[in-house]
Amino acid sequence: MTIPFDDAVAQALVSAADTAAGVVRGQGYGRHGVVSHTLDEFEGAYARAFAAGSVVEAEDRGLLARALDDLSVQVGEAQRRAAEERERLAELAAWTARDAVRQEQGALAPANTLVATWYDPRPADYPVSPPHISTAFTARERSRAVSDCIGGGQTSADPERLRFFVSTTGPMDAALREQMNAVRTAWTGFTASCSWVPIDRSTLLDGWQRLLDENTTDATWIGGIADAFDRAGSGTLSDLDVALATSATFPQSTQDLLVSGTLTTEQVAVAWAMLAQSPSADPSAFVRQWANVLGSLDGLPAFVRVEANRYRVPELLRAAERELAGLENSQDEDELSRAEMIRNEITYLKSVQTGDVQLYLYDRDASRIVEMIGTPGPDTTRAITYVPGTFTGMNSFYTGGVQQIAQYLTTQVPGTVAFVYKDGKFPGEQNNAQEPDLKRFLRIGEANDQDTAREAGEQLAQFQAGMRSDPSLSGVEQIGIGHSWGVANLTGSEVAGSEYDKVISLAGAGMLPDWRPNDDTTYTDLSYRDILLHFQSKGLVWDGNNPRSNGAFEHGPLYVGPDDAELDGRFVDGDEWGVLTDNHNLIASTDRDNDEALGDLKRLVEQ
């Protein structure tokens, strides 16, 4: 009898493991010297990332050597037990043969057979148990992402020292790979010829391959950084420049930068462009993972932000449904109105989920929402920013009231993309579904407040910079259209530095005192006789600095509303306010009674 265990094959594995462990350990001093040489004159975030990765490599290499030692010991123990089992089997076979002779002789002399058995007992029947082999080793992934690559961060390096690392560690890795292949061959032979020994775990070779892959990646990474310094012709680069220079092979640093909150709008645009071109990156997976950040990140293309906000919808729906459940049984009028708004939000978000609504920005609790209508692309010739007026709340978007003008223009004027904009609380906004009372206009202090308009203008200017960083929108005609207080927001963004080709006021409220028209911008006002104009005529809105009275804004005669006859040609302070209020709303609608104004608006946009 024998066992399936080839001692020569097992010894070959022991020898391969011992030799490999020696080679792995033997590289310690040399690799340490190479890393130290590379780090000389290598400073900054990337140097710190390289140093940290080198520590991980050294630690993992030590673990690999110990795993090889352990494999050698385990296989050696298997050899010892196999020898014991072979000896036991041989002794048992010899005894069996002797016993057979005794049994034959015992038939003639039973007493002699019994005595012989006492002096030659049967060897143990229990087989020697083989040891269980476990070859466990896992190499760690080394982080090459530099999360602190802020705009002012810098890295300095000597590219020749970086290339020394690449050229020196290459042969070392080749030697390790040769040893790995030798151990792999011996291991394959062992598992085929020594099946007597059970194998519990076998991760050593996979872990070793991972270690070598990480080493190769390090060399490619450091080589890419060296190339970046060579191209720049400088020993110092911004961390952002290094990240972008290596993003084709190492997109993780660029991804980390994009979600770090440290980049300017312009830097975000450049970083995304590099990431989108990287063959190693998966932008769609990145957008899905970081949707909550990317859905509001200025500098990203519009389609990316829309995609990110669509990924956010399930979470947003769950939050809305939880809030609604807490309001359903309320008897409070305000809470019931809030519940109605939440129901409208749920319906709206489901349209986002299906793609019928495109959200460029969404944060209900901060009252931030920008809906994009149309699709930016090579045929886009104009981008409209439409800013609704006083009292605009989130429910105004949920019910479709403030999107009418943008939807009309994108339908009627080919090549048009529109953004219906609201980034922050608007004057008089209500956090429920109640309809506003426009007669409250004078009691809404922020509608006439310069600081409110200035801050809103700065926010809109930031939006403009982000939106125009989209390659599909950067070179197109930019048109700003504002209704009521929306004109204060638009012109406030001009004070903050934005420029438009056209600014169109729809019954606009007013402008900051330091606002000045841009010489390259055309300004037009379209209005009915309405409640806002009534108060403007008394000097009660923006101290009389209104689109209808400011010479920068061209305008024709006031449009005639369907019920203007009730005004009897005069402004009044009585029941006719309803007509004035309706006229103020009419100019921002697609009602048939507004067809004349809509036609003029369309021509202004087209020309």
pLDDT at 492 over 80: yes
pLDDT at 571 over 70: no
pLDDT at 10 over 70: yes
Measure the CA angle with vertex 518, ends 515 and 521; round to 5°.
130
User: Residue 463's closest CA among 488, 482, 489?
Assistant: 489
E strands present in 12-170: 133-135, 154-156
- Between strands 358-363 and 199-202, the pairing is unpaired
Distance of CA 281 to the CA centre of its chain: 12
- Residues 3-23 as b/e (b if ≥16 CB within 10 A, e otherwise) read bebbeebbebbbebbebbbeb
The conformational region for residue 199 under phi > 0 = left, psi -120 to 50 = alpha, else beta, is: beta
**Looking at per-residue confidence, does 289 or 334 come out higher?**
289
Categorize the per-residue pLDDT at 303 as very low, low, confident or very high, splitting at 50, 70 and 90. Answer: very high
- CA distance between the termini of the chain: 100
- Cβ burial of 521 (10 Å; 0-12, 13-18, 19+) is middle
**Residue 245: what pLDDT?**
83
**Residue 82: what pLDDT?**
93
Domain boundaries, the chain: 7-142+167-218, 367-606
What percentage of the chain has pLDDT greater than the value 90?
73
Q: Which amino acid is residue 242, in one-letter code?
A: V
pLDDT tens, residue by residue, 11-29 = 999 999 999 999 999 999 9
Categorize the per-residue pLDDT at 118 as very low, low, confident or very high, splitting at 50, 70 and 90. Answer: low
Give the mean model confidence (pLDDT) for residues 352-381.
97
User: Which two three-digit tokens encode residue 225?
Assistant: 């950084």
Q: Domain 367-606 is of which CATH architecture?
A: 3-Layer(aba) Sandwich (3.40)
**Residue 114: what pLDDT?**
55
pLDDT tens, residue by residue, 457-469 = 999 999 999 999 9
**What are the helix (H) ranges across 329-423?**
333-354, 394-398, 404-412
**Looking at per-residue confidence, does 103 or 242 come out higher?**
242
Lowest model confidence (mean pLDDT) among 65-79, 128-142, 248-262, 355-369: 248-262
Q: Average per-residue pLDDT in the chain? A: 91
Residue 361 carries which DSSP code?
Answer: E
pLDDT at 440 over 70: no
Lowest model confidence (mean pLDDT) among 37-51, 408-422, 435-449, 576-590: 435-449
Give the mean model confidence (pLDDT) for residues 279-289.
93
**Total residues belonging to the chain:** 607
**Residue 595: what pLDDT?**
97
Those residues whose C-beta lies under 8 Å from the C-beta of residue 379, and which sit 6 or more positions away, are 414, 415
pLDDT tens, residue by residue, 127-144 = 999 999 999 999 999 988
